[in-house]
């Protein structure tokens, strides 16, 4: 049963302070080839607001004192990370391969119980009861061919099937390594476009899962977020598209 608990005003203030402390000029260079200042001028407020809504959804679903792994965590994940840490006293491990962004985020989070790590999430140790993997498996910069198929932009005449297979193998390895560290029953937060990767893993392992119908909008990438319960008693009846 979902708890009706809401985020405290103190946590909301900490989230606002973290966003106010970000170096948006530096982030503009990280996130955009051009027009970065305008990008963050329009995305800064929505990122905090929509991210806080997701954090409020998590506080109703996750148990206190657990452990979460965040794959590819950036600005958009700040509210959820702070909510888990401050409201639920959970341990959060935020991984991001972009060292420049990690340094920027950690400077904004000084004095807060959240720290970002410039490491590959596949190398993390221990187990978790919550995995956050949002807009990672369809990242157009790192996996352009998978992203092209995911978003319906692939051109049959020019699509490189060999390059796609290589990307798919990398992504399956990432999903396998991260999901194998999830304690069951567990919880996954992901984008709607990435549900099939998680569902495929569950089907191959014969593990029950349930995809919640409710979705939450995001500001930076724009992919809607949903929640998946792993290891429950019910298999979701969604058909998994071949990846």
Return the number of other C-beta atoms located less than 10 Å from residue 28's C-beta.
17
pLDDT confidence band for 234 (50 / 70 / 90): low
pLDDT in tens, 99-156: 999 999 999 999 999 999 999 998 888 999 999 999 999 999 899 999 999 888 999 9
Q: What pLDDT score was predicted for residue 123?
A: 85
Does 240 score more than 70 pLDDT?
no
Q: Tell me the sheet residues that pair with 94.
A: 70, 116
Which residue is it, tokens 């001028």?
A: 41
pLDDT in tens, 74-108: 999 999 999 999 999 999 999 999 999 999 999 99
Q: Tell me the sheet residues that pair with 186.
A: 230
Residues 141 and 143: their CA atoms lie apart, in Å, by 6
Q: What pLDDT score was predicted for residue 12?
A: 96
Does 241 score more than 80 pLDDT?
no
Q: What pLDDT score was predicted for residue 139?
A: 92
Tell me the whole-structure pTM to 2 decimals.
0.91
Quickly list H helices, 89-220.
99-108, 144-150, 161-179, 195-205
Which pair of structure tokens corresponds to residue 101?
A: 């962004």
Could you give the strand order of the β-sheet that contains 209-211, starting from the edge strand earlier in sequence? 116-117, 91-95, 67-71, 128-133, 182-191, 225-230, 209-211
């Amino acid at each position: 049963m979902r708890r009706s608990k809401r985020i405290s005003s103190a946590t909301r203030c900490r989230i606002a302070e973290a966003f106010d402390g970000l170096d948006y000029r530096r982030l503009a260079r990280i996130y955009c080839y051009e027009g970065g200042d305008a990008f963050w001028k329009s995305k800064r407020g929505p990122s905090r607001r929509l991210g806080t809504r997701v954090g409020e959804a998590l506080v109703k679903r996750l148990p206190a004192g657990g452990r979460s792994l965040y794959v590819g965590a950036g600005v958009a994940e700040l509210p959820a990370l702070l909510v888990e840490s401050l409201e639920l006293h959970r341990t959060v491990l935020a991984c991001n391969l972009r060292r420049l962004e990690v340094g920027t985020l950690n400077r904004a989070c000084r004095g807060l119980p959240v720290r970002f790590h410039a490491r590959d999430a596949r190398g993390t140790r221990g187990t978790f009861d919550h995995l956050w993997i949002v807009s990672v498996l369809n990242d157009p910069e790192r996996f352009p061919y998978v992203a092209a198929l995911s978003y319906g932009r692939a051109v049959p005449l020019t699509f490189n099937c060999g390059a796609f297979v290589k990307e798919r193998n990398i992504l399956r390895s990432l999903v396998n390594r991260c999901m194998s560290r999830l304690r069951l029953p567990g919880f996954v937060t992901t984008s709607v476009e990435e549900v099939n990767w998680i569902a495929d893993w569950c089907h191959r392992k014969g593990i029950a899962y349930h995809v919640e119908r409710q979705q939450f909008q995001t500001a930076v990438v724009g992919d809607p977020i949903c929640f998946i319960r792993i290891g429950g008693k019910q298999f979701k009846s969604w058909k998994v598209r071949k990846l």
